[in-house]
Every structure is written in structure tokens, then in C-alpha cells.
Amino acid sequence: MLENKTITFLGAGSMAEAVIGGLVRLQVVAPQQIIATNLSDQEKLNYLEQEYGIRTNSNRAEAVKEGDIIILAMKPKHVKDAIDAVQSMTNESQLFVSVLAGIPTSYIEDLLGHQAGVIRTMPNTSAKVGASATGICKGSYATNQQLNEVEQLFSAVGTVTVVTEDKLDAVTGIAGSGPAYFYYVVEAMELAAEQAGLSKEEAATLISQTIVGVGKRLQSTKKSSRELYQEVMSPNGTTEAGIKVLEERQTQEAVTDAITRAIERSKELGSVFLNTNK
């Protein structure tokens, strides 16, 4: 389905690199099927070309003209200027895939000015190691075949959950931002490990494998998360002592509030673009 497709990344930041890295590493498409372009960072384009063997083009309009699938991966605040700059090179046979937090498909459709298919996605940076949790939804003109193409694209770099667009903000707050929450907790675990006398290498091995094990356990059981952490606890044991501190600090409430705020922020970003005409 993707064998003869040229995929152009309009924007070459961390999310673009994460997806590019996953596609190349897992051989979803040949590196030469991928073109990366951006506004002015030639150094980043040179790096991507050398690191992944893809093509790059500093002329955004040329790169978009050549693409069958256009991945919109610029900063959300730059989406209008970026599409305006290449709009004359777009056509209805192309598929536009947004990885932009909060930007509605209707706004992108308005900017394009024609009925090309638009699919909104929210991957996360774990795409680089083939482990993204990605949510996707169709815009007004996207076909089921195009949705299947995007599913294939992102399934190669992790799991894909198809949702309606009104749920994409929740996907953003939970899965899109999710890796950062875990890295934040890992940082705290690293500090505790250092204070306890473990070396950085020892801590890194223990912590990373612990997280991998937790993920696998969650995926392989029907038990709830509460049941799983209670399994680890024994009366007056070490885990119970640690959990009591987390409860005293209202850690679950803080995490819930953080995710809720991230979801709200995604909605705020999107509200700026709703009912906005080109």
C-alpha cells in the first residue's frame, strides 16, 4: 500500500524525526521514499539525511509537490504560514497527515482550499523505537482507504487507536504527552538511586527494565492497575512504605490534574483555529 508512495515531512523537529526513525528502522518504506523539509534549519536537514539516509529539500514547495503523503509536522503556531507557502503545489490526490497538537482537521482543510483527505494523528516520541501509542481520526474528505494507509504507517511504529476527532484532545493529553510524565518520574527515581549509592549505569539498567516490565505486565493481564500495585505490597513492607508517602503527597491527584491540564491545553490550541477562515 505504501510501496510507491513518497512521504514528505513538512517540518523536521523531534516528532518528525521520531516517526522517520521508526519508519526507517522497521523498513516500513525505503529511506529514499522519505523527504524532509523545513523553513530554515539546513543543519537539521543535513543531520536527518546523514542519520537516516532519507532525502531532504530546503525548498518546501518542491518537497510538497513531490509528495503523495504530506506529514504536517511544523509547530502548531506555524501551520497557516507553512501551508500558505506551499498551497499552490498541493492537490486533491494527496493525503495530508497532521501530527499537530490541537489543530482541527477542518482548519487544515480550509487552508488547503480543496477536498484533499486530511487525517489528524497524535503519535508520541516513542515512535522512534517502534513503540508509539498513536490516536488517529479522519477529516471530512478522507477516505477509509486513506485511513488504512495512515494506520499502516503508524502501526509500524507502535499501536494505533482510531477515534472520533472529539477524543483527540484526550489522546494528546494521555498518550501524546504521556512519555514526558514517565521520564519525569524516572528522573526522580534516578535521583533517589544516586542518593542511595547506586551508579548511573546501575540505576539506568534497573529503572529502564522495571518500566519495560510494567508495560509488558499491563499488556498481558486483565488485572487492574490497582490490583497490580497491591500485589507488590506486603503489610509493613518496603512498597507499602513508599506508597504511603505517595498517598500523603496526593500523587495520583497531581498526575490526574496534570493530564487534565494537558487535555485542556490541547483544546485551547484547537479553539484558536475553529471557525477560522483562511
User: Which residues are known binding-site members for NADP(+)?
Assistant: 10-15, 73-76
SS3 per-residue string spanning the chain = CCCCCCEEEECCCHHHHHHHHHHHHCCCCCHHHEEEECCCCHHHHHHHHHHHCCEECCCHHHHHHHCCEEEECCCHHHHHHHHHHHHHHCCCCCEEEECCCCCCHHHHHHHHCCCCEEEEEECCHHHHHCCEEEEEEECCCCCHHHHHHHHHHHHCCEEEEECCHHHHHHHHHHHHCHHHHHHHHHHHHHHHHHHCCCCHHHHHHHHHHHHHHHHHHHHHCCCCHHHHHHHHCCCCCHHHHHHHHHHHCCHHHHHHHHHHHHHHHHHHHHHCCCCCCC
What are the beta bridge partners of residue 159?
133
User: Which residues are known binding-site members?
Assistant: 10-15, 73-76
